[in-house]
A and B are shown apart, each in its own frame.
Chain A
Amino acid sequence: MTAIIIDMNKRDPLTSLERVSLALQYKQPDRVPVAPLVCGASHRVLGITYDRWSQDADLAVQSLLDTQELIGFDAWLTLVDLSVEAYDFGQEVIFPRASTAYPNTDNPRIKTVEDYYRLEKVDPLKTKRMRHVIDIVAGLSRAKGQEIAINGFVYGPLGVLSQIRGHERLFKDIIRQPDAVLHAVELITGVLEIYAREQVRAGAHAVVLDPLYSSRSVLSKETWEKFEGPFSKRIADAVRDEGGLVVVHNCGGGVYFDAVIKWISPIAISHAYPAFDCTTWEEHADRWGREVVTIGYSDPANISFLLRPEEVIEDCRKQLETFKNVDHGFILSTGCEFPPNGNLLNARAMVEAAKIYGSN
């Protein structure tokens, strides 16, 4: 990524990219940036089926562009689904017409312990689905790369492995077959380093790395640090080496902020729940809000199914109030992807809330 030059003297409002960039630097933007993580939901705006959106980069780019026009958010996230990388390592993936693609866990790519050692490296540029994401980033960059923040996405190596082995089998192997797991994590990491670099080269301002298991709801901190911490660092370093920013997303409960920061040093963390050492958002804002920029924390299911737009605005107002003393290091967002079947009026309501209550 090239340096983003911000002319604070110009009279026009800031672009979304400038707004996000300032928040990431703990500097005061014109208003709090908003990134409701509308990814798969954008297929509905263009009127295409989910499976086409997941596999046709041109359609995905157009739907993401149109969705940004409709909602007015400040940043894209090019999360297609969590099976992208796994597919390219040979995992069978099911593409429903109206829902997120997922691996066929009845037919895992890694069926035996020996299969961990049979996994082969792939070149992301020559694959189908990682290339799809790189092409989406490139398309968005060509269209609006100077105006809207573009966040690429990489699922962490342990997460990718869970998609090609099956979560339950992987978790048992972590204890029973640690060497085999580490062998595969090492191989996957090498591919993900290249994948992350290519997203930055394609125009991503930042790459979002998702180390999903770095939370108390799944693994111990020590286990995560052994199986993914140093590998995540390599991917993050690749992004920074290419000139991009590193953001972490983790929607698990009780993210190990200390370990994640130690290994990945992200500029921001997108999350759904307070950190492992905090019980409330107030406590979290006080403990971590000035250490790493917060991207959060509307409940996706509430946004999708329970709240009316006016209630969303009130919910967001409370979040802005909670994070008002973090030196502007806050981006209003959903704690996880905006539900693909969610009410898009509520994503607009989040932007509206930032304009009403997040302006300076």
Chain B
Amino acid sequence: MTPIEERLHQELSDAVVEFDEDKAIAASQEVIAQGLDAYEAIDHGLAHGMERAGKLFEDEVYFVPEILLSADAMYAGMNVLQPHIPLGSERKKGRVVIGVVEGDTHDIGKNLVRIMLSATGFEIHDLGRDVAPRRFVDTALKVHADIIAISTLMTTTMDGMAEVIRILNRENVRGHFKVLVGGAPISHAYARKIGADGYASNAIAATKLADQLVAIHAVPAEVA
């Protein structure tokens, strides 16, 4: 890595940790102006900064507001850099279809998980809030997802998670995806009951779990 690359990656990382969108944009523009690798700048700069923010969150130095603002800086930089990444050259860990189940519009938990997953190298297909079970399945099939991540904050909509899994089973595609569930009323016990592959209590845990699930998922695929 050249000294200028090293400086710019550090600036991008710091911009995210400091919630500085202007700095993230300026450093990203300099990456492009210098002809440097945009993907490397995202990976070693912006995503690195988000990982640092995530660690601060884990250590309870940062809380939800700080993570949201760090993410804004990360996305500000990514908006500049991403158009300069040649199609097909991104090295993603896996594809995740994520959303909040039908009938529920609480999406802050889902958004935190999306932020941390995208920062750690997953390709995200965010369906937003109030998502019908059928749409989770259709989208996962369409984009060849590795993980379906489903969130809800309400007990009245929890069954929407089970319905996604029922559809996957009914259509004999359950084995194609790992299903990750989360949200305030959800527990390991509930995840087991509905046949999900995992439950995470927060965004950091979800990221670690997604890493594990993709690693598990990848083994039979390679053998096959």
Contacts and interface: CB of A to CB of B under 8 A. Distances in A.
A288 B15 CA distance: 41
B155 A339 contact: yes
B156 interface: yes
A301 B60 CA distance: 27
Instruction: Give the interface centre of A216, A218, A220 by most chain B CB atoms within 10 Å.
Output: A220
Nearest to A299: B187
Interface residues on A, range: 20 to 34
A306 interface: yes
Given A168-B108, A168-B111, A220-B63, A341 B185 contact: no
Nearest to B201: A253
A300 B157 CA distance: 14
A196 B66 CA distance: 32
Interface string A158-198: 00000000011001101110000000000000000000000
A142 to B, nearest CB: 31
A175 B66 contact: yes
Contact of A223 (B19, B65, B111): B65
A344 to B, nearest CB: 14
A28 interface: no
Contacts of B111: 168
Contacts of A100: 154, 156
Interface string A264-306: 0000000000000000000000000000000000011110111
A172 B158 contact: no
Contacts of B64: 171, 217-219
Interface in A59-105: 96, 98-100, 102, 105
A251 interface: yes
A167 B68 CA distance: 11
B5 interface: no
B72 A172 contact: yes
What DSSP secondary structure best describes chain A's contact surface? loop
A302 B66 CA distance: 32
Interface residues of B, number: 29
A216 B58 CA distance: 11
A301 B156 contact: no
A306 B65 contact: no
A235 B89 CA distance: 57
B215 interface: no
A342 interface: yes
Contact of B108 (A96, A167, A339): A167
B185 A301 contact: yes
A301 B156 CA distance: 10
A243 interface: no
B69 interface: yes
A216 B63 CA distance: 8
A180 to B, nearest CB: 14
B65 A174 contact: yes
A243 B111 CA distance: 43
Contacts of B185: 300-301, 336, 339
Contacts of A168: 68, 107-108, 111
A105 B157 CA distance: 18
A342 B155 contact: yes
Interface in B92-110: 103, 105-108
Contacts of A219: 63-65
A230 interface: no
Contacts of B202: 217
Interface of A: 96, 98-100, 102, 105, 167-168, 171-172, 174-176, 216-220, 223, 251, 253, 299-302, 304-306, 336, 339-342
21 contacts: A99-B154, A168-B107, A171-B64, A172-B68, A174-B65, A175-B65, A175-B66, A176-B69, A216-B60, A217-B64, A218-B64, A219-B64, A299-B187, A300-B155, A301-B190, A302-B189, A305-B190, A306-B189, A306-B190, A306-B193, A339-B185
Given A168-B111, A175-B69, 17 more contacts: A96-B103, A98-B156, A99-B103, A99-B156, A167-B108, A172-B72, A216-B60, A219-B65, A220-B60, A251-B184, A253-B201, A300-B155, A301-B190, A302-B189, A305-B190, A306-B193, A340-B156
CB-CB nearest 9 A-B residue pairs = A339-B155, A171-B65, A301-B185, A99-B156, A167-B108, A220-B63, A341-B156, A218-B64, A175-B65
